[in-house]
Structure 1
Amino acid sequence: MFDTVLVANRGEIAVRVIRTLRSLGVRSVAVFSDADADARHVREADTAVRIGPAPAAESYLSIDRLLDAATRTGAQAVHPGYGFLAENAGFAQTCTEAGLVFIGPPASAISLMGDKIRAKETVKAAGVPVVPGSSGSGLSDDELAAAAREIGMPVLLKPSAGGGGKGMRLTRVESALMDEIAAARREARASFGDDTLLVERWIDRPRHIEIQVLADGHGNVVHLGERECSLQRRHQKIIEEAPSVLLDEATRAAMGEAAVQAARSCGYRGAGTVEFIVPGTDPSQYYFMEMNTRLQVEHPVTELVTGLDLVEWQLRVAAGEPLAFTQDDITLTGHAVEARVCAEDPSRGFLPSGGTVLRLQEPQGDGVRTDSGLTEGSEVGSLYDPMLSKVIAYGPDRPTALRKLRAALAGTVTLGVPTNAGFLRRLLAHPAVVSGEMDTGLVEREADTLVPDGVPEEVYEAAAAVRAQALAPGADGWTDPFSVPSGWRMGGQPAPLAFPLRVPGAEPVIHSVGRQAAPRVEEHTVLVEMHGVTHAFHRAGDWLGRDGDSWHVMDHDPVEASLSGAARSGVDTLAAPMPGTVTVVKVAVGDVVAAGQSLLVVEAMKMEHVISAPHAGTVTELDVTAGSTVAMDQVLAVVAPDETGGPGETGATGTAGTPGGTDEEARG
């Protein structure tokens, strides 16, 4: 076994790898950018090395700086985690040439399986069924469109060099093909530096099943069963479980053997995942999609049902050890389900969020595990992927695991940064999920029903109670009545305290709270009783949280709001929907635009958001350029309406790309 291993990653996966290194008595080396100087993975490692400024290209993606850190700390091996350089064949090869062991497959396997076109041809030759699609690489736009027409609509456009939804476009009508090809190329080029595309037949209502494989350097390859990954949003996995309720033992064995053959076909070594698309109506008709040549985000569910530490076996295989078990030794016991908690706001269309973690509560124990890179005080920005943690539950059966995970998500508190924890909790209670009748389109179809409609009244009640407590009499027992928003007057009876409040994205309200019946406010909680139900809110600053949801309840100043909006019409003003970077500016001041015309593109956490003209008109203000960093709700441009266009003519602000997921998922 190695003495020292450098972990070339950040966040929850770095913390998770460090945990296994510690259990094996191996010294861990963390690396960090300036943005992560005080991050949890830096604190938990045995030693840490700064590798550059905040942008990933100058730190986590800098091969030279990573190798220099390994040399300075005496590391013998490098664990890439997932994302960043985990599936970069050049990085694996450079590590080997520098005398370092790359804890992953050979560079040749990464290169082969990283090219989806070559990968399909290779596994097909090995007898593994593949999805019908285009053949050959380097196809032009016209050739891709022709292949799509030959396959028949609908089709899926996919980057050859990546995966996880980045650059993927589901196209149902021929008239949209060229626009979708251009958009897919742009995002593929931004995510992977390669805009080569392929096109595949789209299978309606498919299920996504993947097989975990382990291969050593002595010719042994085994599979560790399957994971169901059908619960996705915009092609990004958000819930995974093992085993799948879809497969019987015969299908499981057949898919497992196909995965083993795929691994053998590329000379694989280490932990990897072979992904299949499966028609829900006929699980026996499965098709190879791709192979992810590294550890997966969802590996904990496999660990829990097999009892194996996959990171440990990555290390042992990389150190030259043979697998200590055969296929017959692998058994799946119980059921495990994982949920990905991401910095995104379901109430704002799942746009990436950010901020400072003011209060953190992450469940552990009694069949529940949380893999996280967070601490209280962590800054969540727009530079890296949005996944903050993974909550995993294990039970003797699927209903128990689902019940435990729902409870764990209800107890997950990340105040200061909006997350999808509450959305995931509700998703896990959806009848189709409970019954196991899922497909990859379920979340998209049901998303609106899983997002609360407006802000619950008890949230405002709790926020008002917090403010009322702050106005309680001082140590001398006296409070200036003119400082209290109560409508007090001489000789009058004490009136309820009234507070103007607002939650981003919702209309401001004035909420009153009675003096005598005010909710109980404690240091970190607020207890609100309404309609015979007691609601317990977690509290931190202006943030309130309950059952995985959170609200930022701020004071509302009507005069200030009126003045700030007087100069610009809200209808005409285009604001940033999320904190991020402007990557494309397509117009200039004075340009005449049509309703719905694409004007700018804002990117955050590897998601593109297209800003479109709200109506026909003229661009009168343009406050940003390509490369500008913007805050959420910052004004980007103003479009004065064309009077002839009619007041009812409006455009749309559409989302291109795939939020959520992780740097891991940007590569499959």
Structure 2
Amino acid sequence: MMFDSVLIANRGEIAVRIIRTLRAMAVRSVAVYGDADRDAPHVRAADLAVRLPRGYLDAGGIIEAALEAGAQAVHPGYGFLAENADFARRCAEAGLVFVGPPPGAIEAMGDKIRAKATVARAGVPVVPGAAEPGDDLLGWNDFPALIKPSAGGGGKGMLLLRTAAELPDAVESARRTALAAFGDGTLLVERFVETPRHIEIQVMADAHGNAVHLGERECSLQRRHQKIIEEAPSPLLDPATRERMGAAAVEAARSVGYVGAGTVEFIVPGGPGPIEFFFMEMNTRLQVEHPVTEMVTGLDLVELQLRVAAGEPLPFGQDAVRLEGHAVEARVYAEDPSRDFLPTGGRVLALREPADVRVDSGLAEGMIVGSDYDPMLSKVVAWAPDREDALRRLDRALASTAILGVTTNIAFLRALLTHPEVVAGRLDTGLVERHLADLAGGPVPDEVLAAAALVFHSRAAGDPAGDPWDVADGWRLGERAWTDHRYAKVRGPAGDAEIEVNGRSLGRGGIELEAGEAAVTVAGTTRRYLVAGDRDLVWLGRDGQAWPFPRHEPGDPGDRPGGARTGDGVVRSPMPGTVLVVKAAEGDKVTAGQALLIVEAMKMEHTVTAPHDGVVAELRVRAGQTVELDAVLARVTPCE
């Protein structure tokens, strides 16, 4: 019998998405939340919400909440406890159904070393490698290579190595990340396949011995080994290869007695000739990118998960699976592509999401995006009869998306979707890195600077403090200016002003401000902007991009948030997060580029280095301390 009530042991967009299916099935939904999520969209969407005093990783608290709420099953979503075999067992012991595979299957596939051995015995091809505890990773000599946590996922702790000299530091970093993220520091190393494609197969199996695959997803567009754009079907595969890979995926699932929804991930070497594929891992849960499979198959994977968990057989066989059209998904992250995709944060001051495509979102105006959770904010998914139209629809949808108050990757996603290699379907996992300089965006356009100047001018009319854009140029005796300066000035009434940008006149322009929007006319062209502000910044948004501008310039230009600083020796945090390791002490002599600290946010490490040769004159933080973006961490003075 189908469940009457299901608790969702997760947050954000996936919790909202599961609640949507539960509502369609007339099943009562129970949400859980930490204190920071008290007013989050998934809490408001559920029929009942229960507070978790100790957070989302508190397995006992989640089980207790499910029992108190009268739930019969627990859906873990993805992340947190979704691939935790012990949690699945504890649910069963408490009389709750875990909406996922059996604990044994989670353990078999959750350990990458064991998983490779298991599927290899089933005849599935695997990548050559070495693994702990039996192998000496420091003795590996087949490069390039990838080192990764055995218990990991999502690219966390995964490092690409070109030479043996990189191994010791890489092993240290990967083990530290693995312990922090997964509680298991066991590592493995594999031969790195050059110009690989990442293609995964969605499988579904029931407790009655039935197992099918639902086609593939192309997931080759990645940064930091994490996916950002996925599509179904892959532009690479022909029907015969699809069936070969699908059959291998089903065999991999059967080899561990799998039940439920899962994904078998393959690496596909680039280059001419017949298509080869090698097993990488199996994710024993729902995937972030599952919507593209739903849109080309017409199936609701969450509903299938629930029905299989309730003991029902799959309602169809392999012959009934059909792929119609093409779907593409873009992940919207709180991150800054121009700063190597470092996580960002802030309060969502204004939000606009498209209405003509599928949007799985956990966003709401006013909510705080912090560093406690994964930086993914939402997913925008477009379907069309063919790939070309699907890419175009997704680009238009992202252009109509606006998130002010938090720096995101939307403009980067638009640039990636329209890149000639992507449009042609010539994909591999290194494409983003090779073209990052072209994709990460450039300086603020002149018309945006003019629009910002008009916004400030109209709001500051009559202010005796004068023009907030009329600032000093940052020149310092014997040093370079602190940043590339951008100037925008207006003269005359805001409705009919003379506009100057970087010393060049753009002619006359005007502005109409109303209900958080600005219609700005510059040199005869009118563009509409979304406008929002907080205490420190005013944000302008248009065509999927968002630009922050300081409300007031401080006396010292070097104090401006995010500003470049040259020669002052001040070391600042590149992202909001936690100081994980301090590698230097006050008084230490250091050289340019030497590691001083490691800052971690959302399970991602960033090494902060010395800006030049010198002495650590000041160290302001300690291990475990929380820091904000651009917080001063240390100061290095040159040696006399």
Aligned match of 1:406 in 390, 395, 399? 395
Using the TM superposition, give the Cα deviation of residue 501 of structure 1 relative to its aligned residue in structure 2, in angstroms.
10
CA distance in 1, matches of 2:312, 2:579: 48
Using the TM superposition, give the Cα deviation of residue 506 of structure 1 relative to its aligned residue in structure 2, in angstroms.
5.9
Q: Quick one: which amino acid aligns to residue 324 of structure 1?
A: P
Q: Which residue number in structure 2 is paired with residue 608 of structure 1?
A: 605
Aligned match of 1:76 in 53, 63, 72? 72
Using the TM superposition, give the Cα deviation of residue 641 of structure 1 relative to its aligned residue in structure 2, in angstroms.
1.3
Using the TM superposition, give the Cα deviation of residue 187 of structure 1 relative to its aligned residue in structure 2, in angstroms.
1.3
Using the TM superposition, give the Cα deviation of residue 163 of structure 1 relative to its aligned residue in structure 2, in angstroms.
2.0
Q: Quick one: which amino acid aligns to residue 490 of structure 2?
A: V
Paired residues of 1:207 and 1:229 also in contact (CA < 8 A): yes
CA distance in 2, matches of 1:293, 1:512: 57
Aligned match of 1:165 in 119, 136, 155? 155
CA distance in 1, matches of 2:558, 2:157: 41
Paired residues of 2:510 and 2:521 also in contact (CA < 8 A): no
Q: Which residue number in structure 2 is paired with residue 657 of structure 1?
A: none
Compared CA separation, residues 506 and 352, structure 1 to 2 (3 A): farther
Paired residues of 2:510 and 2:522 also in contact (CA < 8 A): no
Q: Which residue number in structure 2 is paired with residue 314 of structure 1?
A: 305
Q: Quick one: which amino acid aligns to residue 429 of structure 1?
A: T
Range that drifts further, 240-249 or 275-284: 275-284
Q: Quick one: which amino acid aligns to residue 52 of structure 2?
A: I
Q: Which residue number in structure 1 is paired with residue 24 of structure 2?
A: 23
Matched, 1:331 2:322: yes
Q: Which has the higher contact order (CA 8 A, sep 6+)?
A: 1
Q: Quick one: which amino acid aligns to residue 70 of structure 2?
A: G
Q: Which residue number in structure 2 is paired with residue 470 of structure 1?
A: 459
Q: Quick one: which amino acid aligns to residue 628 of structure 2?
A: A
Paired residues of 1:582 and 1:625 also in contact (CA < 8 A): yes
Paired residues of 2:554 and 2:560 also in contact (CA < 8 A): no
What is the percent sequence identity of the aligned residues? 62
Q: Aligned with 2:282: secondary structure?
A: strand
Q: Aligned with 1:483: secondary structure?
A: coil
Q: Aligned with 1:539: secondary structure?
A: strand
CA distance in 1, matches of 2:349, 2:330: 22
- Aligned residue runs from structure 1 range 485-504, under 5 A: 485=466, 499-500=470-471
Q: Which residue number in structure 2 is paired with residue 651 of structure 1?
A: none
Aligned match of 1:182 in 172, 178, 191? 172
Matched, 1:537 2:514: no
Compared CA separation, residues 506 and 103, structure 1 to 2 (3 A): farther
Matched, 1:292 2:306: no
Q: Quick one: which amino acid aligns to residue 578 of structure 1?
A: M
Q: Which consecutive aligned stretches of 4+ in structure 1 deviate over 6 angstroms post-superposition?
A: 562-565
Paired residues of 1:500 and 1:508 also in contact (CA < 8 A): no
Using the TM superposition, give the Cα deviation of residue 204 of structure 1 relative to its aligned residue in structure 2, in angstroms.
0.3
Paired residues of 1:227 and 1:302 also in contact (CA < 8 A): yes
Aligned match of 1:358 in 334, 337, 349? 349
Q: Which residue number in structure 2 is paired with residue 223 of structure 1?
A: 213
Paired residues of 1:454 and 1:506 also in contact (CA < 8 A): no
Pairwise CA RMSD of aligned residues? 1.9
Q: Which residue number in structure 2 is paired with residue 13 of structure 1?
A: 14
Paired residues of 1:619 and 1:640 also in contact (CA < 8 A): yes
Q: Aligned with 2:106: secondary structure?
A: helix
Using the TM superposition, give the Cα deviation of residue 302 of structure 1 relative to its aligned residue in structure 2, in angstroms.
0.2
Range that drifts further, 580-589 or 105-114: 580-589
Cα deviations by residue, 1:349-391 (Å, 9 ceiling, x for unpaired) = 32111111111111122xx110001111111001111000000
Compared CA separation, residues 161 and 283, structure 1 to 2 (3 A): farther
- Aligned residue runs from structure 1 range 101-116, under 5 A: 101-116=97-112
Matched, 1:201 2:201: no
Paired residues of 2:351 and 2:365 also in contact (CA < 8 A): yes
Cα deviations by residue, 1:551-603 (Å, 9 ceiling, x for unpaired) = 111134353547999xx985311011111111111222111222211111111
Cα deviations by residue, 1:598-638 (Å, 9 ceiling, x for unpaired) = 11111112211111111221111111111111111110001
Using the TM superposition, give the Cα deviation of residue 439 of structure 1 relative to its aligned residue in structure 2, in angstroms.
0.5
CA distance in 2, matches of 1:629, 1:163: 25
Paired residues of 1:622 and 1:638 also in contact (CA < 8 A): yes
Q: Aligned with 1:131: secondary structure?
A: coil
Matched, 1:301 2:297: no
Q: Which residue number in structure 2 is paired with residue 144 of structure 1?
A: 137
Matched, 1:594 2:624: no
Q: Which residue number in structure 2 is paired with residue 449 of structure 1?
A: 438
Compared CA separation, residues 563 and 328, structure 1 to 2 (3 A): closer
TM-score normalised by length of structure 1: 0.88
Using the TM superposition, give the Cα deviation of residue 96 of structure 1 relative to its aligned residue in structure 2, in angstroms.
0.8
Using the TM superposition, give the Cα deviation of residue 279 of structure 1 relative to its aligned residue in structure 2, in angstroms.
1.2
Q: Which residue number in structure 2 is paired with residue 641 of structure 1?
A: 638
Q: Which residue number in structure 2 is paired with residue 649 of structure 1?
A: none
Cα deviations by residue, 1:83-134 (Å, 9 ceiling, x for unpaired) = 0010011111111111100000000000000010110011011011111112
Q: Quick one: which amino acid aligns to residue 526 of structure 1?
A: A
- Aligned residue runs from structure 1 range 212-291, under 5 A: 212-281=202-271, 282=273, 284-291=275-282
Q: Which residue number in structure 2 is paired with residue 35 of structure 1?
A: 36
Q: Which residue number in structure 2 is paired with residue 513 of structure 1?
A: 490
Q: Quick one: which amino acid aligns to residue 338 of structure 1?
A: E
Paired residues of 2:177 and 2:603 also in contact (CA < 8 A): no
CA distance in 1, matches of 2:605, 2:84: 23
Q: Quick one: which amino acid aligns to residue 103 of structure 1?
A: V
The gaps in structure 2 that reach 5 residues or longer are 474-481, 497-508
CA distance in 2, matches of 1:638, 1:278: 47
Cα deviations by residue, 1:197-232 (Å, 9 ceiling, x for unpaired) = 111111100000000000011000000000000000
Matched, 1:88 2:88: no
Cα deviations by residue, 1:159-186 (Å, 9 ceiling, x for unpaired) = 1001221111111111212221111111
Compared CA separation, residues 101 and 498, structure 1 to 2 (3 A): closer
CA distance in 2, matches of 1:248, 1:307: 21
CA distance in 2, matches of 1:557, 1:63: 48
Paired residues of 2:334 and 2:376 also in contact (CA < 8 A): yes
Range that drifts further, 96-105 or 523-532: 523-532
Using the TM superposition, give the Cα deviation of residue 419 of structure 1 relative to its aligned residue in structure 2, in angstroms.
0.4
Matched, 1:381 2:390: no
- Aligned residue runs from structure 1 range 569-584, under 5 A: 571-584=568-581
Paired residues of 1:359 and 1:376 also in contact (CA < 8 A): yes
Using the TM superposition, give the Cα deviation of residue 242 of structure 1 relative to its aligned residue in structure 2, in angstroms.
0.1
CA distance in 1, matches of 2:551, 2:366: 23
CA distance in 2, matches of 1:109, 1:28: 27
Aligned match of 2:116 in 95, 115, 120? 120
The gaps in structure 1 that reach 5 residues or longer are 53-57, 473-478, 487-496, 644-668
Q: Quick one: which amino acid aligns to residue 65 of structure 1?
A: G
Q: Which residue number in structure 1 is paired with residue 503 of structure 2?
A: none
Using the TM superposition, give the Cα deviation of residue 533 of structure 1 relative to its aligned residue in structure 2, in angstroms.
4.5
Q: Which residue number in structure 2 is paired with residue 483 of structure 1?
A: 464
Paired residues of 1:501 and 1:556 also in contact (CA < 8 A): no
CA distance in 1, matches of 2:529, 2:134: 55
Cα deviations by residue, 1:438-485 (Å, 9 ceiling, x for unpaired) = 10000011111012222212222111111222245xxxxxx5xx7272
Q: Quick one: which amino acid aligns to residue 68 of structure 1?
A: E
CA distance in 1, matches of 2:369, 2:483: 23
Using the TM superposition, give the Cα deviation of residue 526 of structure 1 relative to its aligned residue in structure 2, in angstroms.
2.3
Q: Quick one: which amino acid aligns to residue 181 of structure 2?
A: S
Q: Quick one: which amino acid aligns to residue 91 of structure 2?
A: C
CA distance in 1, matches of 2:254, 2:388: 36
Q: Which residue number in structure 2 is paired with residue 557 of structure 1?
A: 553
Compared CA separation, residues 591 and 424, structure 1 to 2 (3 A): same
Cα deviations by residue, 1:473-530 (Å, 9 ceiling, x for unpaired) = xxxxxx5xx72726xxxxxxxxxx965499xx96454421243132333332223344
TM-score normalised by length of structure 2: 0.92
Q: Aligned with 1:427: secondary structure?
A: helix
Q: Which residue number in structure 2 is paired with residue 647 of structure 1?
A: none
